[in-house]
Chain A
Amino acid sequence: MVAIRKSIFIFLGSFALFLALILPFYFFGELYGASEFFSKFSFLDFISGREWSLPEQKYGALQAIYGTIITAGLALLITTPISIAAAVAMSELLPEYLSERLGMIIDMIAAIPSVVVGLWGILSLGPFLSSTLYKFLIENLGFLPIFQAKTLLAYNKLTAALVLGYMITPFAVSVIKENLRLVPIEIKEAAYALGLTKWEVIRIMLSYIKPGIFAALMLALGRAIAEAVAVSMVIGNTCSFSVSLLEPACTLTTLIINNFAEATGTEAAALIGLGLVLFVISISTILVSRLVYNKLLGGYMR
């Protein structure tokens, strides 16, 4: 009897062990795949190499890292005010039944596959923006380095950041909304009793859940860094260090997705090396947000 009781948990435990080993397995796989590349090129040269060029056998990750940081950072900048405002509107301003319906719509946005958002970006949003917003920016604000462009392009860093921002916002909204719900009623009552207006109370609530907002936005940032297909469809896929937001770029994920299927030998190994960089960046953002979040689970979210 005891033997059976134990054996079933050994059986189930082996699957849990498998689950726990997936992440080390990924890390090992990245190292293993990139090892051929790093036996020929030094990691330092790779990470600080300014150029990614196949004919010249130059494999530098810096342009891709730059593209990832700019697009993901810009997406985060777009999503921060919108997600906070939307979460406040849903949990504090709208009546219950409306905000429930809206919650379902927000979930629906989150469920749109990234390739469909990319399709919208490439066929609808990009052409629309280039004939309106981008034209306006180049003509009127073209003296600013970030809005300079030699030619008017529909697919550039700004389009990529807008598409990314739209993809990560619903997720941030639902986490911040969840946090707002957990503000103790005493705090709200005390604030109203002091004669504060609605928005002054909301500001107090927001400052109360600051760590929760931080965790939500970090998770959103992680998703923006990890996104591949939608970005590769709208970013223009030309690696450069240009400061202008209206010029194309490449990111870690777009280089991998555009070249991996046909790559062989050193190029394939170099692409896996890019994957290793992506692994480190995204794992650290996920870990930071998880640590903050887990701390909250013991704090006001208990």
Chain B
Amino acid sequence: MNLKKLRDMIYTCLAYLSLLLLIIPLCWILFECIIEGGHYIINRPIEFFTDIGRPPGIEGGGIGHAIQGSLYMLGLALLIGIPVGIFAGIYLAERKDSPLAKAARFVSDILVEFPTILVGVVTYTFLASKVTGILATGPAAFAASFALALIMIPIVARSVETAFLTIPNDIREGAYALGLSSRHVIFRILLPAVKTGVVTAVLIGLAKIVGESAPIIVTNGISNFWFSKWTEPAPSIPVLIYVYGLSPFKEWQTQAWAAALFLLLLIMAIGFLARRITKKLWTGV
């Protein structure tokens, strides 16, 4: 009997140990970001957010160009991804038993797990590649936006679908019984009812693409200048972290930590906002 108790205790310790193994690296990452990166940001608070990167060996510089590039890229990606994702999501919920909805649901469940680097490869092949692409621009910012939009669409669609499915059927029946057209029912009755759910869906999609770097590197390449044209490579925060982190220069590595801190805070803020809105949806406060 005592042996059994001992074994139970050992297992319990191992279980807690595994939790520790998960939490320690997180603390380590946050610690490095705050100590290395936070220090840099505090020393040059304005320069860091507004200035362009310096060549290696020269002190100072910031990630202003990467923030600007990311804003452009994410902006276009949202412009494409939000409407497509929302409309597809509404269809999935309102025609949930149709073969098309079933197929789209199956595909989007796979796409959520799909390697994002391949999304970049395919987008580049069809749009930007000088040999096979339609626009034949070579690596370009707009291709990165398209890839990000494609990554975002299935996530937004599934979340919007979930939001629409929470609406009781009575409301649909009531609205149709009044003789309203489907267009009115969907856009005037149902969509306003789950507005917060739709906003959350968009935020979830945004949180997914804001830190993506692989599809951007593949479609847009690497740039360390200000955003100039949609058909040229543009900088972005994740790719800047990638380039600066791989470089052997201490100043660049410090700035990579600072950019990582900024990116983490951004993602946490989006997540916090999404949770806040969802809470409001359920409790009304």
Contact = CB atoms under 8 A, between A and B. Distances in A.
Interface of A: 1, 4-5, 7-9, 11-13, 15-20, 22-23, 25-26, 29-30, 32-33, 36, 81-83, 85-86, 88-90, 93, 102, 105-109, 111-120, 122-125, 166, 169-170, 173, 197-199, 202, 219, 222-223, 225-226, 228-229, 233, 253, 256-257, 260-262, 264-265, 268, 271-272, 275, 278-279, 282-283, 286-287, 290
A169 B260 contact: no
A33 B22 contact: no
B16 interface: yes
B221 interface: yes
A236 to B, nearest CB: 12
Contacts of B139: 261
A7 B210 CA distance: 35
Interface in B1-46: 4-5, 7-8, 11-12, 14-19, 21-23, 25-26, 28-29, 32-33
Contact of A219 (B113, B186, B256, B257): B113
A233 B181 contact: no
A83 B19 CA distance: 9
A109 B25 CA distance: 9
Q: When A and B form their complex, which 5 residue pairs have the shortest distance between CB atoms, in order from nearest?
A: A113-B211, A226-B115, A29-B122, A33-B125, A85-B18
B38 to A, nearest CB: 14
Given A22-B111, A108-B268, A268-B131, 15 more contacts: A5-B183, A8-B181, A13-B100, A23-B111, A32-B132, A93-B16, A106-B22, A111-B207, A112-B267, A114-B213, A115-B260, A118-B242, A119-B256, A124-B32, A198-B8
B211 to A, nearest CB: 3
Contact of B88 (A19, A108, A229, A275): A19
A115 B91 contact: no
Interface size class of B (residues with CB under 8 A): 35 or more
23 contacts: A12-B87, A33-B132, A85-B17, A102-B19, A112-B267, A114-B213, A114-B214, A115-B242, A115-B260, A116-B264, A117-B29, A119-B260, A120-B29, A166-B22, A169-B22, A197-B8, A228-B115, A257-B214, A260-B218, A261-B221, A268-B131, A279-B115, A286-B114
A4 B92 contact: no
Nearest to B113: A286
B107 A115 contact: no
A86 B19 contact: yes
B163 interface: no
Nearest to A290: B109
B49 interface: no
A20 B107 contact: yes
Contacts of A89: 15-16, 18-19
B205 interface: no
Nearest to B99: A20
Contacts of B241: 115-116, 119
Interface stretch (B58-66, B150-158, B224-232, B277-285): B150-158
A30 B126 CA distance: 10
B212 interface: yes
B87 A229 contact: no
A290 B110 contact: yes
Given A166-B25, A257-B217, A286 B110 contact: yes
B18 A82 contact: yes
A223 to B, nearest CB: 7
Contact of A120 (B32, B117, B125, B126): B32
Given A13-B91, A113-B238, A229-B213, A32 B113 contact: no
Contacts of B114: 23, 26, 226, 282-283, 286
Give the interface centre of B221, B238, B242, B253 by most chain A CB atoms within 10 Å.
B242
B117 A253 contact: yes
B8 A120 contact: no
Given A113-B213, A123-B253, A197-B5, A13 B118 contact: no
B121 A22 contact: no
B95 interface: yes
Contacts of B181: 1, 4-5, 8
Contact of A9 (B125, B182, B268): B182
A9 B91 contact: yes
Contacts of B101: 16
B8 A278 contact: no
Interface in B88-139: 88, 90-92, 94-95, 98, 100-101, 103-104, 107-111, 113-119, 121-126, 129-132, 139
Nearest to A23: B107
A17 B183 contact: no
A286 B112 CA distance: 10
Nearest to A163: B25
A206 B104 CA distance: 33
Nearest to A14: B87
Given A283-B110, A286-B113, A20 B103 contact: yes
Nearest to A12: B91
Contacts of B98: 13
Given A12-B91, A33-B132, A261-B218, A226 B117 contact: yes
B246 interface: yes
Interface string B51-78: 0000000000000000000000000000
B247 to A, nearest CB: 10
